[in-house]
Amino acid sequence: MPTFTPPVDQMLPRTLMHAAVGGPEGVRRELAPVPASVRARGDRPLRVLIAGGGTGGHLFPGVALAEEVRARGGEVLFVGTARGIEARVLPEQGFALRLIDATGIKGRGLRGLLAGLLRLPRAWWQSLKIVREFRPDVVVGVGGYASGPVVATAAMLLRPTAILEQNSIPGITNRILSRVVKRVFCTFPDHGRFFPRRKVVLTGNPIRRPILAALQAAGEVGARAETRPPRLFVFGGSQGARAINDMIVAATPALLSALPGLEIWHQTGRGDRERVEAAYHGFGLTAPRVRVAEFLTDMATPYAWCDLVLCRAGATSLAELAAAGRPAVLVPFPHATDNHQEHNARALVEAKGAVLLREGEWSADSLAAAICGLLGDPARLAAMRTAMLAAARPAAAGTIYELLAALG
Protein backbone atom coordinates (compact mmCIF):
# COMPACT_ATOMS: atom_id res chain seq x y z
CA MET A 1 0.00 0.00 0.00
CA PRO A 2 1.51 3.39 -0.98
CA THR A 3 2.32 5.77 1.81
CA PHE A 4 0.46 9.02 2.16
CA THR A 5 1.38 12.11 4.12
CA PRO A 6 -1.52 14.50 4.67
CA PRO A 7 -1.06 18.26 4.75
CA VAL A 8 -0.09 19.63 8.11
CA ASP A 9 -3.47 21.23 8.75
CA GLN A 10 -5.22 17.89 8.22
CA MET A 11 -3.21 15.88 10.72
CA LEU A 12 -4.19 15.25 14.32
CA PRO A 13 -1.19 16.12 16.50
CA ARG A 14 -1.50 16.25 20.25
CA THR A 15 -1.49 20.05 20.18
CA LEU A 16 -4.96 19.93 18.63
CA MET A 17 -6.33 18.69 21.93
CA HIS A 18 -5.40 22.03 23.48
CA ALA A 19 -6.82 23.99 20.56
CA ALA A 20 -10.00 21.92 20.53
CA VAL A 21 -11.02 22.90 24.03
CA GLY A 22 -10.68 26.61 23.41
CA GLY A 23 -6.96 27.28 23.23
CA PRO A 24 -5.31 30.48 24.38
CA GLU A 25 -7.12 32.71 21.93
CA GLY A 26 -9.08 35.55 23.43
CA VAL A 27 -10.75 36.55 20.20
CA ARG A 28 -14.52 36.11 20.10
CA ARG A 29 -15.46 33.91 17.16
CA GLU A 30 -18.53 34.94 15.22
CA LEU A 31 -20.43 32.79 12.77
CA ALA A 32 -19.45 32.70 9.14
CA PRO A 33 -22.39 33.77 6.98
CA VAL A 34 -24.24 31.21 4.91
CA PRO A 35 -23.45 31.84 1.22
CA ALA A 36 -26.24 33.70 -0.53
CA SER A 37 -26.33 31.16 -3.34
CA VAL A 38 -24.93 27.65 -3.27
CA ARG A 39 -25.14 25.51 -6.39
CA ALA A 40 -25.56 21.77 -6.02
CA ARG A 41 -23.46 19.41 -8.11
CA GLY A 42 -24.55 19.48 -11.72
CA ASP A 43 -23.16 16.11 -12.73
CA ARG A 44 -24.88 13.70 -10.31
CA PRO A 45 -26.47 13.47 -6.85
CA LEU A 46 -24.22 13.14 -3.83
CA ARG A 47 -22.84 9.96 -2.29
CA VAL A 48 -22.77 10.76 1.43
CA LEU A 49 -21.22 8.74 4.22
CA ILE A 50 -22.70 9.61 7.63
CA ALA A 51 -20.69 8.49 10.66
CA GLY A 52 -21.74 8.31 14.29
CA GLY A 53 -24.80 7.76 16.42
CA GLY A 54 -25.00 5.98 19.71
CA THR A 55 -27.93 8.07 20.93
CA GLY A 56 -31.01 9.43 19.22
CA GLY A 57 -29.75 12.98 19.69
CA HIS A 58 -26.77 12.20 17.48
CA LEU A 59 -28.42 9.80 15.07
CA PHE A 60 -31.74 11.38 14.10
CA PRO A 61 -30.30 14.62 12.67
CA GLY A 62 -28.16 12.32 10.53
CA VAL A 63 -31.26 10.41 9.47
CA ALA A 64 -32.92 13.72 8.55
CA LEU A 65 -29.94 14.60 6.38
CA ALA A 66 -30.00 11.13 4.83
CA GLU A 67 -33.66 11.56 3.93
CA GLU A 68 -32.77 14.81 2.19
CA VAL A 69 -29.95 13.12 0.26
CA ARG A 70 -32.21 10.25 -0.76
CA ALA A 71 -35.01 12.64 -1.78
CA ARG A 72 -32.56 14.33 -4.16
CA GLY A 73 -31.54 11.03 -5.72
CA GLY A 74 -28.33 10.58 -3.77
CA GLU A 75 -26.88 7.56 -1.99
CA VAL A 76 -26.23 7.25 1.74
CA LEU A 77 -24.16 4.90 3.85
CA PHE A 78 -24.11 5.06 7.64
CA VAL A 79 -21.22 3.92 9.80
CA GLY A 80 -21.86 3.19 13.46
CA THR A 81 -21.33 0.63 16.20
CA ALA A 82 -23.22 -2.49 17.19
CA ARG A 83 -23.96 -0.99 20.62
CA GLY A 84 -25.51 2.25 19.35
CA ILE A 85 -29.14 3.00 18.60
CA GLU A 86 -28.23 3.04 14.90
CA ALA A 87 -27.90 -0.75 14.83
CA ARG A 88 -31.63 -1.03 15.60
CA VAL A 89 -33.08 2.07 13.95
CA LEU A 90 -31.32 2.30 10.58
CA PRO A 91 -32.33 -1.12 9.22
CA GLU A 92 -35.93 -0.22 10.09
CA GLN A 93 -35.52 3.01 8.10
CA GLY A 94 -34.09 1.22 5.07
CA PHE A 95 -30.59 2.74 5.27
CA ALA A 96 -27.38 0.77 4.74
CA LEU A 97 -25.16 0.51 7.82
CA ARG A 98 -21.56 -0.60 8.27
CA LEU A 99 -20.17 -1.25 11.75
CA ILE A 100 -16.80 -0.47 13.26
CA ASP A 101 -15.34 -1.46 16.61
CA ALA A 102 -15.20 1.86 18.45
CA THR A 103 -16.06 2.88 22.01
CA GLY A 104 -15.86 6.04 24.06
CA ILE A 105 -12.79 6.96 26.09
CA LYS A 106 -13.95 10.01 28.06
CA GLY A 107 -15.45 9.58 31.52
CA ARG A 108 -15.07 5.79 31.56
CA GLY A 109 -12.28 5.38 34.09
CA LEU A 110 -8.85 3.92 33.49
CA ARG A 111 -10.15 0.54 32.30
CA GLY A 112 -12.57 2.13 29.85
CA LEU A 113 -9.86 4.48 28.60
CA LEU A 114 -7.46 1.63 27.93
CA ALA A 115 -10.14 -0.49 26.25
CA GLY A 116 -11.11 2.40 24.00
CA LEU A 117 -7.52 3.15 23.03
CA LEU A 118 -6.83 -0.50 22.24
CA ARG A 119 -9.79 -0.57 19.86
CA LEU A 120 -8.66 2.52 17.95
CA PRO A 121 -6.23 0.84 15.52
CA ARG A 122 -8.89 -1.64 14.41
CA ALA A 123 -11.46 1.17 14.10
CA TRP A 124 -9.07 3.17 11.93
CA TRP A 125 -8.43 0.24 9.58
CA GLN A 126 -12.15 -0.52 9.35
CA SER A 127 -12.83 3.16 8.58
CA LEU A 128 -10.14 3.21 5.90
CA LYS A 129 -11.65 0.18 4.19
CA ILE A 130 -15.19 1.60 4.29
CA VAL A 131 -14.21 5.00 2.90
CA ARG A 132 -12.17 3.46 0.09
CA GLU A 133 -14.92 1.00 -0.85
CA PHE A 134 -17.83 3.45 -0.75
CA ARG A 135 -15.91 6.36 -2.32
CA PRO A 136 -18.19 9.10 -0.89
CA ASP A 137 -18.36 12.59 -2.28
CA VAL A 138 -18.50 13.85 1.30
CA VAL A 139 -18.26 12.38 4.80
CA VAL A 140 -20.33 13.83 7.66
CA GLY A 141 -19.87 13.16 11.36
CA VAL A 142 -22.91 13.48 13.60
CA GLY A 143 -21.21 12.73 16.93
CA GLY A 144 -20.83 9.45 18.76
CA TYR A 145 -18.14 6.80 18.91
CA ALA A 146 -17.91 6.05 15.18
CA SER A 147 -17.66 9.67 14.13
CA GLY A 148 -14.06 10.32 15.12
CA PRO A 149 -12.21 7.47 13.32
CA VAL A 150 -14.32 7.70 10.16
CA VAL A 151 -14.23 11.48 9.69
CA ALA A 152 -10.53 11.77 10.54
CA THR A 153 -9.70 8.93 8.12
CA ALA A 154 -11.71 10.58 5.35
CA ALA A 155 -9.96 13.90 5.96
CA MET A 156 -6.54 12.22 5.71
CA LEU A 157 -7.67 10.71 2.41
CA LEU A 158 -8.57 14.22 1.22
CA ARG A 159 -12.29 13.48 1.05
CA PRO A 160 -14.48 16.52 1.77
CA THR A 161 -15.67 16.33 5.37
CA ALA A 162 -18.08 18.09 7.72
CA ILE A 163 -19.60 17.64 11.17
CA LEU A 164 -23.01 18.39 12.67
CA GLU A 165 -23.00 19.87 16.16
CA GLN A 166 -26.41 19.60 17.80
CA ASN A 167 -25.58 21.18 21.16
CA SER A 168 -24.43 24.57 22.31
CA ILE A 169 -21.41 23.00 24.04
CA PRO A 170 -19.73 20.49 21.71
CA GLY A 171 -18.24 17.20 22.78
CA ILE A 172 -14.53 16.53 22.63
CA THR A 173 -14.78 14.51 19.39
CA ASN A 174 -16.31 17.38 17.42
CA ARG A 175 -13.91 19.89 18.98
CA ILE A 176 -10.99 17.87 17.63
CA LEU A 177 -12.59 17.05 14.27
CA SER A 178 -13.40 20.71 13.65
CA ARG A 179 -9.67 21.21 13.00
CA VAL A 180 -9.65 18.82 10.03
CA VAL A 181 -13.13 19.13 8.48
CA LYS A 182 -14.14 21.72 5.92
CA ARG A 183 -17.47 22.76 7.49
CA VAL A 184 -19.06 22.74 10.95
CA PHE A 185 -22.86 22.91 10.85
CA CYS A 186 -24.17 24.25 14.15
CA THR A 187 -27.59 24.24 15.75
CA PHE A 188 -26.68 27.08 18.14
CA PRO A 189 -24.31 30.04 17.73
CA ASP A 190 -20.72 29.17 18.64
CA HIS A 191 -20.42 31.78 21.39
CA GLY A 192 -17.96 29.52 23.19
CA ARG A 193 -15.60 29.86 20.19
CA PHE A 194 -14.97 26.11 20.15
CA PHE A 195 -14.67 25.93 16.37
CA PRO A 196 -12.61 27.73 13.70
CA ARG A 197 -14.65 30.75 12.74
CA ARG A 198 -14.24 30.37 8.98
CA LYS A 199 -15.76 26.87 9.03
CA VAL A 200 -18.90 27.49 11.10
CA VAL A 201 -22.35 27.81 9.53
CA LEU A 202 -25.47 28.21 11.67
CA THR A 203 -27.93 25.88 9.96
CA GLY A 204 -30.14 24.61 12.77
CA ASN A 205 -30.76 20.98 13.65
CA PRO A 206 -32.17 18.83 10.82
CA ILE A 207 -35.56 17.29 11.52
CA ARG A 208 -36.81 14.19 9.72
CA ARG A 209 -39.09 14.95 6.78
CA PRO A 210 -42.31 13.23 7.94
CA ILE A 211 -41.86 14.57 11.46
CA LEU A 212 -41.18 18.09 10.16
CA ALA A 213 -44.34 18.05 8.05
CA ALA A 214 -46.40 16.95 11.04
CA LEU A 215 -44.75 19.51 13.33
CA GLN A 216 -45.38 22.32 10.88
CA ALA A 217 -49.02 21.24 10.71
CA ALA A 218 -49.07 21.34 14.51
CA GLY A 219 -47.61 24.83 14.38
CA GLU A 220 -50.63 25.98 12.40
CA VAL A 221 -52.84 25.24 15.41
CA GLY A 222 -53.34 28.59 17.08
CA ALA A 223 -54.31 29.66 20.57
CA ARG A 224 -56.66 27.39 22.43
CA ALA A 225 -60.35 28.04 22.25
CA GLU A 226 -61.71 29.50 25.45
CA THR A 227 -64.38 26.81 25.44
CA ARG A 228 -61.88 24.05 26.26
CA PRO A 229 -59.56 23.59 29.24
CA PRO A 230 -55.79 24.17 29.13
CA ARG A 231 -53.57 21.29 28.05
CA LEU A 232 -50.09 20.33 29.25
CA PHE A 233 -47.75 17.87 27.51
CA VAL A 234 -45.02 16.38 29.73
CA PHE A 235 -42.05 14.32 28.59
CA GLY A 236 -38.44 13.74 29.55
CA GLY A 237 -36.92 12.71 26.23
CA SER A 238 -37.09 9.28 24.64
CA GLN A 239 -35.92 7.63 27.87
CA GLY A 240 -38.18 9.64 30.15
CA ALA A 241 -37.05 11.60 33.21
CA ARG A 242 -37.85 10.31 36.68
CA ALA A 243 -37.20 13.72 38.24
CA ILE A 244 -39.77 15.38 35.97
CA ASN A 245 -42.24 12.57 36.60
CA ASP A 246 -41.90 12.98 40.37
CA MET A 247 -42.12 16.75 40.38
CA ILE A 248 -45.14 17.07 38.09
CA VAL A 249 -46.99 14.53 40.24
CA ALA A 250 -46.09 16.54 43.37
CA ALA A 251 -47.27 19.74 41.66
CA THR A 252 -50.57 18.30 40.41
CA PRO A 253 -52.72 19.25 43.45
CA ALA A 254 -51.68 22.90 43.10
CA LEU A 255 -52.21 22.77 39.34
CA LEU A 256 -55.72 21.37 39.72
CA SER A 257 -56.55 24.00 42.33
CA ALA A 258 -55.55 26.84 40.00
CA LEU A 259 -56.62 25.17 36.74
CA PRO A 260 -59.56 22.85 37.63
CA GLY A 261 -60.09 21.62 34.07
CA LEU A 262 -56.41 20.96 33.28
CA GLU A 263 -55.71 18.07 30.89
CA ILE A 264 -52.34 16.29 30.87
CA TRP A 265 -50.57 14.08 28.33
CA HIS A 266 -47.51 12.49 29.94
CA GLN A 267 -44.76 10.33 28.45
CA THR A 268 -43.04 8.74 31.43
CA GLY A 269 -40.29 6.63 29.93
CA ARG A 270 -39.80 2.92 30.42
CA GLY A 271 -40.88 1.38 33.70
CA ASP A 272 -42.62 4.41 35.23
CA ARG A 273 -46.01 4.50 33.54
CA GLU A 274 -48.00 2.49 36.07
CA ARG A 275 -46.66 4.43 39.05
CA VAL A 276 -47.36 7.82 37.49
CA GLU A 277 -50.77 6.78 36.21
CA ALA A 278 -51.74 5.52 39.66
CA ALA A 279 -50.70 8.85 41.17
CA TYR A 280 -52.90 10.76 38.73
CA HIS A 281 -55.80 8.43 39.49
CA GLY A 282 -55.31 9.24 43.17
CA PHE A 283 -56.02 12.89 42.32
CA GLY A 284 -59.18 11.90 40.46
CA LEU A 285 -57.60 12.27 37.02
CA THR A 286 -58.53 9.51 34.58
CA ALA A 287 -58.74 9.21 30.80
CA PRO A 288 -59.38 11.24 28.75
CA ARG A 289 -58.31 14.09 31.08
CA VAL A 290 -54.98 12.40 31.60
CA ARG A 291 -53.10 10.23 29.10
CA VAL A 292 -50.02 8.34 30.25
CA ALA A 293 -47.64 6.41 27.98
CA GLU A 294 -44.16 4.97 28.34
CA PHE A 295 -43.05 6.00 24.86
CA LEU A 296 -44.53 7.96 21.98
CA THR A 297 -43.53 7.32 18.38
CA ASP A 298 -45.77 10.16 17.19
CA MET A 299 -44.69 13.39 18.90
CA ALA A 300 -46.47 15.71 16.48
CA THR A 301 -49.94 14.75 17.73
CA PRO A 302 -49.37 15.74 21.38
CA TYR A 303 -47.55 18.89 20.21
CA ALA A 304 -50.64 19.86 18.19
CA TRP A 305 -52.90 18.92 21.11
CA CYS A 306 -51.19 20.91 23.86
CA ASP A 307 -50.87 24.56 24.86
CA LEU A 308 -47.65 24.16 26.85
CA VAL A 309 -44.82 21.61 27.09
CA LEU A 310 -42.77 20.58 30.13
CA CYS A 311 -39.60 18.75 29.09
CA ARG A 312 -35.82 18.41 29.06
CA ALA A 313 -33.65 20.53 26.75
CA GLY A 314 -32.11 18.06 24.32
CA ALA A 315 -31.26 19.61 20.96
CA THR A 316 -33.73 17.47 18.99
CA SER A 317 -36.58 18.26 21.39
CA LEU A 318 -35.87 21.98 21.12
CA ALA A 319 -35.78 21.85 17.32
CA GLU A 320 -39.15 20.09 17.33
CA LEU A 321 -40.65 22.54 19.81
CA ALA A 322 -39.60 25.45 17.64
CA ALA A 323 -40.90 23.85 14.44
CA ALA A 324 -44.25 23.15 16.15
CA GLY A 325 -44.35 26.62 17.75
CA ARG A 326 -44.99 25.26 21.23
CA PRO A 327 -44.12 27.29 24.36
CA ALA A 328 -42.20 25.30 26.94
CA VAL A 329 -41.01 25.06 30.51
CA LEU A 330 -37.53 23.59 30.11
CA VAL A 331 -35.83 21.58 32.84
CA PRO A 332 -32.31 20.72 31.59
CA PHE A 333 -30.77 17.41 32.56
CA PRO A 334 -28.24 18.55 35.18
CA HIS A 335 -25.74 15.75 34.49
CA ALA A 336 -25.46 16.32 30.74
CA THR A 337 -21.85 16.70 29.60
CA ASP A 338 -20.62 20.27 30.19
CA ASN A 339 -24.18 21.14 31.26
CA HIS A 340 -24.96 21.54 27.57
CA GLN A 341 -28.73 21.17 28.01
CA GLU A 342 -28.92 24.35 30.06
CA HIS A 343 -26.93 26.18 27.41
CA ASN A 344 -29.26 24.73 24.77
CA ALA A 345 -32.30 25.93 26.71
CA ARG A 346 -30.99 29.47 27.05
CA ALA A 347 -31.20 29.99 23.30
CA LEU A 348 -34.99 29.59 23.38
CA VAL A 349 -35.33 31.40 26.71
CA GLU A 350 -33.50 34.40 25.25
CA ALA A 351 -35.77 34.19 22.20
CA LYS A 352 -38.71 34.42 24.66
CA GLY A 353 -40.19 31.12 23.55
CA ALA A 354 -39.52 29.22 26.77
CA VAL A 355 -38.82 29.57 30.48
CA LEU A 356 -36.08 27.76 32.37
CA LEU A 357 -36.25 25.85 35.65
CA ARG A 358 -33.11 24.24 37.06
CA GLU A 359 -33.67 20.82 38.55
CA GLY A 360 -31.48 21.61 41.55
CA GLU A 361 -33.51 24.70 42.43
CA TRP A 362 -37.10 23.85 41.62
CA SER A 363 -39.93 22.65 43.86
CA ALA A 364 -43.50 21.50 43.37
CA ASP A 365 -44.67 25.03 44.19
CA SER A 366 -42.29 26.76 41.77
CA LEU A 367 -43.19 24.32 38.99
CA ALA A 368 -46.91 24.78 39.57
CA ALA A 369 -46.45 28.57 39.63
CA ALA A 370 -44.55 28.54 36.32
CA ILE A 371 -47.12 26.33 34.59
CA CYS A 372 -50.14 28.16 35.97
CA GLY A 373 -48.62 31.53 35.16
CA LEU A 374 -48.25 30.57 31.51
CA LEU A 375 -51.46 28.61 30.99
CA GLY A 376 -53.36 31.43 32.69
CA ASP A 377 -51.93 34.07 30.34
CA PRO A 378 -53.16 33.47 26.76
CA ALA A 379 -51.49 36.62 25.45
CA ARG A 380 -48.08 35.52 26.70
CA LEU A 381 -48.56 32.01 25.31
CA ALA A 382 -49.41 33.51 21.92
CA ALA A 383 -46.24 35.62 22.00
CA MET A 384 -44.19 32.58 22.97
CA ARG A 385 -45.66 30.58 20.08
CA THR A 386 -44.64 33.32 17.69
CA ALA A 387 -41.14 33.42 19.19
CA MET A 388 -40.75 29.65 18.88
CA LEU A 389 -41.75 29.65 15.22
CA ALA A 390 -39.35 32.52 14.55
CA ALA A 391 -36.52 30.50 16.12
CA ALA A 392 -37.24 27.42 13.99
CA ARG A 393 -34.98 26.45 11.08
CA PRO A 394 -37.13 24.00 9.11
CA ALA A 395 -34.86 24.15 6.03
CA ALA A 396 -31.81 22.87 7.95
CA ALA A 397 -31.46 19.57 6.09
CA GLY A 398 -31.78 21.21 2.68
CA THR A 399 -29.32 23.94 3.58
CA ILE A 400 -26.78 21.40 4.78
CA TYR A 401 -27.20 19.31 1.63
CA GLU A 402 -26.49 22.29 -0.64
CA LEU A 403 -23.44 23.28 1.37
CA LEU A 404 -22.16 19.70 1.22
CA ALA A 405 -22.67 19.67 -2.53
CA ALA A 406 -20.52 22.77 -2.78
CA LEU A 407 -17.68 20.90 -1.05
CA GLY A 408 -17.59 18.05 -3.53
Range scoring the smallest mean pLDDT among 41-55, 151-165, 261-275, 307-321: 41-55
Residue 316 pLDDT > 80? yes
pLDDT at residue 18, rounded to an integer: 32
**d(C-alpha 240, C-alpha 233), whole Å:** 13
Query: Model confidence at 110, in pLDDT bands (50, 70, 90)?
Result: low
Task: Please state, in angstroms and rounded to a whole number, the distance separating the CA atoms of residues 254 and 2.
Answer: 72
pLDDT in tens, 192-208: 899 999 999 999 999 99
pLDDT tens column, 376-401 = 999 999 999 999 999 999 999 999 99
Q: What is the mean pLDDT of the chain?
A: 86
Which top CATH class is 211-391?
alpha beta
Is pLDDT at 189 greater than 60 in this prediction?
A: yes
| CATH of 8-205+394-407 given 1.10.645.10, 3.40.50.2000, 3.40.50.720, 3.20.20.70 | 3.40.50.2000
Same CATH fold assignment for domains 8-205+394-407 and 211-391: yes
Q: What is the pTM of this model?
A: 0.81
* CA pair distance 394, 56, nearest whole angstrom: 19
Which DSSP category does 336 fall into?
Answer: S
pLDDT at 7: 38
Write the pLDDT tens digit of every residue in 265-303: 999 988 899 999 999 999 999 999 999 999 888 888 999
User: SS3 of 183, please?
Assistant: strand
What pLDDT score was predicted for residue 34? 43
Average pLDDT over residues 248-275: 95
| Whole-number percent of the chain with pLDDT over 70 | 83
User: Strand, helix or coil at 98?
Assistant: strand
Whether 329 has a pLDDT exceeding 90, the answer reads: yes
What pLDDT does 37 receive? 37
Q: State the pLDDT at residue 102.
A: 76
The amino acid sitting at 88 is R
Do 136 and 159 contact (CB within 8 A), yes or no? Answer: yes
State the sign of the Cα–Cα–Cα–Cα dihedral 78, 83, 89, 92. positive
Contact 197, 30 (CB under 8 A): yes
Per-residue pLDDT band at 223 (split at 50, 70, 90): low
Which one is predicted more confidently, 119 or 108? 119
In the chain, the percentage of residues whose pLDDT exceeds 90 is 68
In the predicted structure, residue 12 carries a pLDDT above the cut 70: no
Confidence band, pLDDT 50/70/90 cuts, at residue 28: very low
Mean pLDDT check: name the lowest of 51-60, 102-111, 397-406: 102-111
**pLDDT for res 342:** 95
pLDDT at residue 295 in the model = 87
Structural domain spans, the chain = 8-205+394-407, 211-391
Longest CA pairwise span in the chain (Å): 75
| Residues 251 and 371: beta-carbon distance below 8 Å | yes
